[in-house]
Structure 1
């Protein structure tokens, strides 16, 4: 006997209260709790990665299972009411036996704890491609294809929750469907699942149930569980993309999460992103100076990579920037870059440096620059009379080339930079154009 059945039974015998009203009054102070995920993309082939790095491809494949398994573990430990999947649980219409058996096992765990799974099929995994073994699973409630429909389920505390959703039956859905979503006045909460993107129905590039954020805000749904966009993003108090739980490439740097949602009678959801990724893609910025060489550069990169979790594997791209003659000349040789990366990767078990982008400039000494030609010598003379903004304004220096630096110098003048700072500004502005003279 559930808690609500027990209360109704006791109160009906007393005859003193309207049992349903009293129960609703008591329970509406209790929140419903659910996890919102989507775009899991199980069975992603990782073809391009496999061609270059089979080990990394295997790690990414395993990570997609492990992150989803962690989500299920969190659902159980947090004793949630529901798990929502907003489309694209699978990467394609083709499902491996391994994945089908894996999901059946995970759904079995949820069924044992009375946690219901509410899902819609997305453009990557349209309804017709879902295996019957999963569609018929007692824990799973998968929306029918090709039409907006609703179902009402009870939370663990007996609250009625109306879910409205739409499952794709093809890879494209150009028309907007959110206008067909309707709430149930009889339900305690109304939750919508939608796999789509912000856009205009008239734009042929918006092929996935386009919607305007304002349209969703104007509805009476307590929460819109969105899928399709892999970047986690909260579009409003009641509207959110969960993001991809396990990123697959450098385009998904901000992924790796699901949303934990607490929803109570004040109708303002409490949203918390929880990270569960097992492989993380990172873009690392490392600054170098004219004093740096290969040894110091390696140390700087290693220092930048120390901020890591032992439970994760990191795939890094390093962006080097700054002025360094030594490093500039070293990285001009392509084979040196490959050797440099190989050397870095020998230090780590849970990290991989995938690539390095040496956005470096040659360092130019002050004396060499200002003695390169008559124009630079004239600039040097001006600097001796610093502050020199007034000279620019009065036209003391007539050379037309100064027009390109006037705004920058005047802006810096307000901050009262040192003479040395202004020298570096001038060198940075002109070193590429006057490289031959230098």
Structure 2
């Protein structure tokens, strides 16, 4: 017997972080959650699964119009024609009280109620499904304790939208512990709410298999890496889990260590190698990548104020690779200056006085007052899109001038020490 377990689809949720850029894949951003859901349905049909479980947050919230519901109904119709049933619970995003628009669901779709945990039996498969939907967005009670005892002689599945025991980066809704889930005696817990894949499975098979499949499609740069659902196969009393990667646009974070780089050209070459390694897996999946440059680097001073050039170098490396499915989300600079070596002492003596002045600047009221006078009229006129290239603008805007001086001083000294 096979089934697919998915969660946190957030249908028609917008993707964030690329729309401001000229080369952004606008259509892919707009339709990514729908396209991923189509792939999920297609895979269910290909695998001839007995049923599909959706463990909450099918929708991102109340529909703008009925098109979201019409799309879902169409996809459920595909499963209906293939003889595949669907079982779902509502989560915090699509709780009963959050949804003002509804359409009648096909007869192959079963929704667990919110008043108490319900049981649906599939005797022809030897399966019992237990679940309870959210009535309101903020369900703070432990729903798991109210789930009924397992049905003897059947494969028991619990469907629950929960933060579990602190594994979610989100609000702690319907909290419970793994120990409580094991104590129920179910064979499998199909969980939702946590957007990262996590699974707990004892080799002995004496405890419940507990799985968060993660969300179906990453929606922003904080949801990096492969996304999808899980295919569960039950045979001979054993439960096997296989991850299904179904995302249609993937967010990636690439870190480049510039510790051995002496120039922007050196960094560009390291960038190229890192991006090429990224594309070695699932090269056909479109990607949006954030690049972070780190390390105590001899090039630290050279990078100060060169955000636009570095972004251009990343775009150039992408062009060299010739991959039209790779887009740049952002470049972040997180390098540090290299500590002065003993042999450099004499060459830096001429900068010693300046070094002392810069060290004192952050605590000099007169200097900070002059800095405020000069900077405030300027930062008020800078367009918002410049923030990415000049991240220190936020410190200037908020009046944190002491912190600004502390951040600028090391980069300025490193740049001067190189004779730039």
TM-score class, shorter: 0.7 to 0.9
* 8 Å CA contact 1:33, 1:261 repeated in 2: yes
Q: Which of these residues, 230, 233, 236, is aligned with residue 259 of structure 1? A: 230
Q: Distance in 1 between matches of 2:304 and 2:342?
A: 24
Shift of 1:48: 6.3
Say how many residue pairs are matched: 340
Q: Distance in 1 between matches of 2:239 and 2:131?
A: 19
Residues 1:96 and 1:42: Cα distance change in structure 2 (over 3 Å)? farther
Q: Which of these residues, 178, 187, 203, is aligned with residue 213 of structure 1? A: 178
Is residue 293 of structure 2 the alignment partner of residue 317 of structure 1? Answer: no
Is residue 154 of structure 2 the alignment partner of residue 188 of structure 1? Answer: yes
Residues 1:45 and 1:371: Cα distance change in structure 2 (over 3 Å)? closer
Q: TM-score, normalised by structure 1?
A: 0.69
Which residue of 1 is the match for residue 364 of structure 2?
A: none
Residues 1:265 and 1:326: Cα distance change in structure 2 (over 3 Å)? closer
Q: What does residue range 87-102 of structure 1 map to in structure 2 within 5 Å?
A: 87-94=56-63, 96-102=65-71
Which residue of 1 is the match for residue 354 of structure 2?
A: none
Shift of 1:372: 6.4
Bigger CA drift: 295-304 or 102-111? 295-304
Q: Which of these residues, 279, 297, 303, is aligned with residue 330 of structure 1? A: 303
Q: Distance in 1 between matches of 2:284 and 2:117?
A: 41
Residues 274-297 of structure 1 show CA distances to partners (whole Å, capped at 9, x for unaligned) of 211111111112223555433332
Q: Distance in 2 between matches of 1:223 and 1:371?
A: 68
Which residue of 1 is the match for residue 268 of structure 2?
A: 298
Residues 165-202 of structure 1 show CA distances to partners (whole Å, capped at 9, x for unaligned) of 111121110111111111453552111100011248xx
Q: TM-score, normalised by structure 2?
A: 0.72
Bigger CA drift: 364-373 or 213-222? 364-373
* 8 Å CA contact 2:194, 2:212 repeated in 1: yes
Which residue of 1 is the match for residue 246 of structure 2?
A: 276
Is residue 217 of structure 2 the alignment partner of residue 246 of structure 1? Answer: yes
Shift of 1:210: 0.7
Q: What does residue range 21-420 of structure 1 map to in structure 2 within 5 Å?
A: 32-46=1-15, 50=19, 55-56=24-25, 58-94=27-63, 96-127=65-96, 129=99, 132-133=102-103, 135-154=104-123, 158-186=124-152, 188-199=154-165, 207-237=172-202, 238-254=209-225, 256-266=227-237, 268-290=238-260, 292-306=262-276, 307-308=278-279, 309-326=282-299, 328-344=301-317, 346-347=319-320, 348-363=323-338, 364=340, 366-369=342-345
Q: Distance in 2 between matches of 1:276 and 1:371?
A: 57
Uncovered stretches (5+) of structure 1, i.e. residues with no partner: 1-31, 374-431
Shift of 1:339: 3.8
Residues 149-170 of structure 1 show CA distances to partners (whole Å, capped at 9, x for unaligned) of 111124xxx2231111111121
Q: Give every structure 1 segment of 4 or more consecutive aligned residues whose post-TM-superposition deviation is greater than 6 Å.
A: 370-373, 435-438
Residues 1:63 and 1:45: Cα distance change in structure 2 (over 3 Å)? closer
* 8 Å CA contact 1:230, 1:255 repeated in 2: no
SS at match of 1:218: helix
Residues 1:55 and 1:339: Cα distance change in structure 2 (over 3 Å)? closer
Shift of 1:254: 4.4
* 8 Å CA contact 2:55, 2:190 repeated in 1: yes
Q: Distance in 2 between matches of 1:41 and 1:314?
A: 19
Q: Distance in 2 between matches of 1:34 and 1:87?
A: 16
Shift of 1:58: 3.5
Q: Distance in 2 between matches of 1:62 and 1:38?
A: 18
Shift of 1:55: 3.6
SS at match of 2:257: strand
Which residue of 2 is the match for residue 407 of structure 1?
A: none
* 8 Å CA contact 1:120, 1:193 repeated in 2: yes
* 8 Å CA contact 1:183, 1:220 repeated in 2: yes
Uncovered stretches (5+) of structure 2, i.e. residues with no partner: 203-208, 350-409
Bigger CA drift: 233-242 or 343-352? 343-352
- State the structure with more CA Rg: 1
Shift of 1:327: 5.6
Shift of 1:39: 0.1
